[in-house]
Amino acid sequence: MTAVKPSNTNPIDQLQALWDHLAGVPASATHDALNHLLQTLCEHVNAQNAYWLGAIRVSDHSPADPLNGWRPRVLHYLHQDPERMKQMAKLAKEADRAPDPAIIEQARRAGTFRAALNRDLVPDGWMASDFNHKVYVQWGITDTMFVTTPVNEHCEAYIGLQRKGEPNDLFTHEELNQAATLLRGLGWFQRRVFLSFGLMISETPLSVMERKVMSLLLTDKSEKQIADELNHSPTTTHSYVREIYRKLGINSRASLAAIWLGH
């Protein structure tokens, strides 16, 4: 998809163009729509990469948990780097034991739509921390901003925008406000993205292939046509369908459609 590029037109017109585009994308193309949104945000605030993170609040957390039960479940980058994804998965496990101050602060603010620059969330001296070096510095990232949308009391969608450049090449608060304005009215779309990953209903996200199958289930294709498109046998495709239904707690395509319609 081609992103909505910034121009000299009225910012309200740009905002409306993005929202209209997303509203017109069918549920089966949610993944492409998410990439479109991330690319558009990057172009508006001069970021070089962006990601979507789906966090859920688990029910069996300790009362002493500094994150109050909030845990990341899905991390999707606009521009994927396999090595970085491996490192982020490792750091996510370490965060359960000793979460970064920025993550703790985000969990403390859970439940409200919010936007923040990373440097405004961390204490003095954080820039010299091992966490900053592993997550940002060694990858050439000079600054990060976050815009977080509560989807419900147990689910929140984080969008992170990252800039690469000179050490003093930082996001401004004006750019942060621009990103927040673009995202402020997209709670409905964040809900759709959560569903596309199999979250919000299940604490276990769908696999990549399960997501592909589910996106096709949201079209008018038969299971046989889905199998042909994915180069699977009908039996294999039906096994994926059964597993999707099991994770989502449903038993039919009609029930799947009802979930996407908000019922």
What's the pLDDT tens digit per position in 26-61? 988 999 999 999 999 999 999 999 999 999 998 888
30 CB-contact burial (10 Å; exposed 0-12 / middle 13-18 / buried 19+) = buried
Does 4 score more than 60 pLDDT?
no
Give Cα separations from 38 to 31, 34, 41, 148 (angstroms). Answer: 11, 6, 5, 14
* pLDDT at residue number 23: 92
120 CB neighbour count, 10 Å cutoff: 13
List, for residues 131-175, the tens digit of each pLDDT value: 898 889 999 999 999 999 999 999 999 999 999 988 889 999 999
Q: Do 230 and 222 meet the contact criterion of CB atoms below 8 Å apart?
A: no
Q: Specify the higher pLDDT residue, 86 or 246.
A: 246
What single-letter amino acid sits at 152? N
Q: Do 214 and 193 meet the contact criterion of CB atoms below 8 Å apart?
A: no
CA distance 171 to 45: 8
Does 102 score more than 60 pLDDT?
yes
Residue 79's closest CA among 45, 41, 38?
A: 38
* Residues in Cβ contact with 212 at an 8 Å cutoff, skipping those fewer than 6 apart: 230
Give Cα separations from 161 to 39, 45, 80 (angstroms). Answer: 10, 9, 14
CA distance 10 to 6: 10
CA distance 186 to 195: 14
CA distance 127 to 234: 53
Please give the model's pTM, rounded to 2 decimal places: 0.87
The pairing of beta strand 49-57 with beta strand 70-77: antiparallel
Q: What are phi and psi of 53, to 5 degrees?
A: -125, 125
Q: What letter would DSSP give residue 237?
A: H
**1 — pLDDT class (breaks 50, 70, 90):** very low
Chain position carrying tokens 């042909």 = 228
Q: Specify the higher pLDDT residue, 4 or 214.
A: 214
CA distance 146 to 51: 10
Averaged pLDDT for residues 172-189: 95
Does 96 score more than 90 pLDDT?
no
Domains of the chain: 11-191 (3.30.450.80), 208-260 (1.10.10.10)
97 CB neighbour count, 10 Å cutoff: 6
